[in-house]
Amino acid sequence: MKRNQPGLLKGHHSDSTAVLVRRGLTTCLLLTALLPVAARAQTDASSPAQSLLTDRWVLNLGAFLLATDLRANLNGQSSAKPEIDFNRVFGRSQDASRVRADALWRITPTHHLSLSYFNNSIRRSKTLDESIEWGDTKFEAQAKVDFKHRMEVLALSYNYAFLRAPGYELSAGVGVHYTQRVLQLAGDARVTDANGSQSAVSATSRSSSVPTPLPVLGLRGAWAVAPSWYFDAQAQYFAASLGSYDGAWSDARISATWMYTRQFGLGIAYNHFSSNMELSRKSFDGHLRTSYSGAQIFLTAAFE
């Protein structure tokens, strides 16, 4: 496996572990602060906020306002290539709205299944100020290049509520997190073949697919802090070196929901996702760093 940036992922693992510890401490502090409030909150199971802790189905659908950071390199046939900062090369587009959907199924009060889906796609076009290398394809300065990045995230997890009361619950989960990324650069370029010879190619397109199914470990806390107000905090994390994969990722989200009826509510959330991975596969051989963060406004529905 090629290591064009030795030490980077090792340092990232250390940083990610520190971040995870801080998030764990933050969760504990929030729990300590909010549990007394939850204990004094309305405990009537018919109150609007309580429905999010007791109903069998809870569905969320909302739009994100996102800022995305993307850096990657694709190794060539004979050597590692420099990393591309796509935001610096192609410019930052205006934060775009994206859709995220979540579903929670309470099999029993303490055993839950959750499913979430998120799609984030970027399209940009620019006449390059400098040449860039994407694998064995070199896009020269002054060439017009189209850039596309599509990321789809699907996560399925089982959660067990090991601490539960009428006004709150704390659960831990394990599951599968699947991310599909496609990066594509298209324009006039110079291509190096297997013999090391270069040739100019017009309107060439280079697409790389990065599917990464990974296990997920998570922690989630939920509180009915008032008859119509519900607070939720959750974090997921994974880091490993498995065969052709070496890296780490994390996903953290906090939200507050106002239940204006027992079944329907309006909420606001903040979500931060980051991944740092190195892959050695036929579809993608290189290093990829991705992060997104932003606010979400969503609708909630709860059903018995």
The DSSP bridge pattern shows strands 264-280 and 245-259 to be: antiparallel
Q: What is the pLDDT of residue 116?
A: 92
- Each residue of 56-107: pLDDT tens digit? 999 999 888 777 777 887 776 555 677 888 888 887 665 456 788 999 999 9
Q: What is the structure's pLDDT at 83?
A: 83
Highest CATH level, class, for 8-303: mainly beta
Measure the CA–CA gap between 215 and 26, rounded to whole angstroms. 24
Give every residue of the chain whose pLDDT is below 70, as ranges: 1-46, 76-80, 92-97, 193-196, 203, 206
- In this prediction the pTM is 0.75
pLDDT, tens digit (0-9, with 9 covering 90-100), for 19-70: 544 554 455 455 545 555 544 544 455 689 999 999 999 999 988 877 777 7
Strand blocks (E) in 227-281: 229-242, 245-259, 264-280
What six digits make up the tokens of 195? 């013999």
**Residue 169 DSSP SS3:** strand
pLDDT for res 45? 57
CB 51 within 8 A of CB 235: no
Q: What separation in angstroms does the CA of 159 have from each of 52, 112, 128, 212?
A: 15, 5, 48, 22
The widest CA-to-CA distance across the chain, in whole angstroms, is 75
Percent of the chain surpassing pLDDT 90? 31
Helix, strand, coil percentages in the chain from 3-state DSSP, rounded to 5: 15, 65, 20
Query: Can you give the pLDDT at residue 4?
Result: 42
pLDDT of amino acid 193? 67
- pLDDT recorded at residue 227: 93
Q: What is the pLDDT at residue 215?
A: 84
